[in-house]
Amino acid sequence: MSTIIFTQPSGTTDAITVEEGTSLMRAAVTNGVEGIVGECGGQAMCATCHVYVRPEFAAALPEIADDEEEMLECTTAERTERSRLGCQIPATPELDGMVVDVPSDQV
Amino acid sequence: MGVVIIGGGQAGLQVADSLRSGGYEEPIAVISEEHGLPYQRPPLSKDYLTPGADPVPLPLRGETFFTEKNIDLRQGTTALAVDRSARTVALDDGTELTYDHLVFATGARNRRLSCTGADLDGVFGLKTLVDAQRLHRELAAAQDVVVVGAGFIGLEFAAAARAHGCGVTVLEFAAQPMGRAVSEETGAWFTSAHAELGVRLRLGEGIEHFESDERGRVRAAVSTIGSRYPADLVVVGIGVVANDALAAAAELKTENGIVVDASLRTSDPAVLAVGDCANFPNVHSGTRTRLESVQNATDQGKHAARTILGETTDYTHLPWFWSTQGSFRLQIAGLSSKDDWTVATGDPGAGKFSVLSFRGGQLAAVESVNSPADHMSARKLLGGGLGPTPDEAAAPGFSLKSYARQAASKPSGG
Ligand SMILES: Cc1cc2nc3c(=O)[nH]c(=O)nc-3n(C[C@H](O)[C@H](O)[C@H](O)COP(=O)(O)OP(=O)(O)OC[C@H]3O[C@@H](n4cnc5c(N)ncnc54)[C@H](O)[C@@H]3O)c2cc1C
Ligand code: FES
């Protein structure tokens, strides 16, 4: 179990306990985190699970695969160095306490 | 009073969600005949069936959504009848709900085979979580799998069955896979891609009948050209029919689905229909259509909510769709038709390409194989009514992504 903190553009936060292996998108959708849509069910096909990961955790994330990279070029909110698709990040013990920012727009 | 939504799928929940976020404060009830929390269907034929996958359904909304938004979700409850003059819906638990607005979001059900043996043990469809759970168990033990129909579901299942090490034969009556939805080029690429996976795709060959073993379980499939394929597991994926019987019984106009106008209202303005069950005037094909996709269910759900809230705009969203078959990724934006002029870009040999369909010299649809950036570019271009000419697209080195970037940087149109 790790705790992931989703921060909304308004500043409100949701701290969610995520089972190891469960993706951030799935955890967010299951717990009703605003702004994480997950329209394609986690297949890197829709970019509606775009999140900004705080830099302190960048090193603990899985590498960006080609398809994720291509989808990230097409996010609705601006893509930054911290952009990831939540569906491509499974929770691991190393990510415990990670803060991710939810973009203002997903679709 | 308030809104009653029949069907707790992708479209129905979107209506409820968008009504609340649009400020609707009257009661909202969602009648869902399936048990448990509504879930996403696409993973059922993909991730959910892969070896070693954790077969947990992905909910459409979390449990707290329903309490927080004050949405009365009636799980495991079927709507039996609608009385339009009294504005009531009768449920199978004996209760009756009244409505100001009623929304049909009843989806579609699998078309069934009528041949001998179609009801044998071991012959399945794939539509619901219950179906997927059963297939998840069956795949672990299956050896010889026959799939009837090379549409999306059939091919997705075939790829999953191969990953389990099963021998897989797909029978398809048409001359190309996914014939109704994709161009010949894309169909041909998937034909060879599945062959490389070891799927035996038999085109121009339908199912004639199934043979049974002594315990009443399927043992083999016999095709229309007389070939016999051993099978201990069969999946039938031959398309769906709209769930429109309840609407028809309430004397609403139905014809291949519940007939709605551009604002998604049925022949009774207090009643709307959305998603797989709705037959709507489609500006992208210029005809009435029924679409079966997450995009259509979601966007129509949002649109119906706006109609209920008093807006009167037309539904014109660009259709898009995806399918993953093993590691092959197909994404489609727009609607192609058999008479379109097509141009392929990218590198089909390397398994990364797009097929652009043109109608009247205008870009009408783009199928992208393993090329998500092309797909997203296509959605932007098609959504904005922009797009390259056939000549521009056919020029050597043309890239949809660079074209879309340039189009976006121009002040108006391109
Ligand atoms: C296995 C599978 C894979 C798919 N993969 C993709 C994909 O990759 N990409 C994509 O875009 N689309 C895909 N789709 C299609 C997509 O899931 C559907 O288009 C979408 O779910 C349609 O939403 P809907 O709300 O109209 O219908 P549904 O989600 O089918 O919901 C309708 C619900 O209404 C219920 N209902 C019907 N009648 C009644 C009644 N009288 N009372 C109460 N409840 C009732 C039904 O039981 C059902 O639960 C897939 C579908 C399946 C089955
Ligand atoms: S859920 Fe669609 S890209 Fe992540």
Query: Rounded to an integer, what distance in angstroms lies between the CA atom of residue B99 and that of residue B88?
Result: 6
Q: Contact B58/A39, CB-based, under 8 Å?
A: no
Q: Is B246 in the pocket of ligand 1 (CB under 6 A)?
A: yes
pTM of the model: 0.95
The token duo for A95 is 């990510």
Among the partner-chain residues B58, B295, B298, the one whose CB lies closest to the CB of A42 is: B58
Q: Which residue has the higher pLDDT, B129 or B385?
A: B129
Residue B413 pLDDT more than 70? no
Determine whether the interchain pair A47/B376 forms a contact, defined as Cβ–Cβ distance below 8 Å: yes
Least confident of B87-96, B264-273, B386-395: B386-395
Residues of chain A above pLDDT 90, percent = 69
pLDDT tens across B60-84, in order? 998 889 999 999 999 999 999 999 9
* A32 with B295: Cβ contact below 8 A: no
pLDDT in tens, B241-288: 999 999 999 999 999 999 999 999 999 999 999 999 999 999 999 999
Question: What per-residue confidence (pLDDT) applies to B411?
Answer: 58
Residues A39, B58 contacting (CB under 8 angstroms): no
pLDDT digits (tens, 9 = 90+) for B154-202: 999 999 999 999 999 999 999 999 988 999 999 999 999 999 999 999 9
Verify whether the Cβ–Cβ distance B64 to A39 is below 8 Å: no
Which ligand does the CA of A46 lie closest to?
Answer: 2
Alpha helices in B142-214 (DSSP H): 152-163, 184-197
Q: What is the mean pLDDT of residues B287-315?
A: 96
Report pLDDT for B55: 84
Strands (E), B19-166: 28-32, 71-75, 79-83, 88-91, 96-98, 101-104, 108-110, 123-124, 144-148
Q: What SS3 state is found at A16?
A: strand
What share of chain B has pLDDT > 90, as a percent? 91
How far, rounded to the nearest angstrom, does the alpha carbon of residue B199 sit from its chain's CA centroid?
23
pLDDT at residue A30 in the model: 87
Rounded Cα distance, A36 and A21, in Å: 18
Spatial distance between the Cα atoms of B41 and B44, rounded to a whole number of angstroms: 5
A32: nearest CB among B58, B61, B372: B61
User: Which residue's alpha carbon is at the smallest distance from atom 3 of ligand 2?
Assistant: A44
CA pair distance B211, B221, nearest whole angstrom: 6
Q: Report whether B3 contacts B87 (CB < 8 A).
A: no
Q: Is the pLDDT of residue B414 over 60?
A: no
Phi, psi dihedral angles at A96 (to 5 degrees)? -55, 130
| Six token digits for residue A96 | 């415990």
Q: Which of A30, A42, A70 sits opposite B372 (nearest CB)?
A: A70
Q: DSSP label at B232?
A: S
Q: Which of A93, A96, A98 is nearest to A84 (CA)?
A: A98
Question: Structure tokens of B248?
Answer: 């028809």
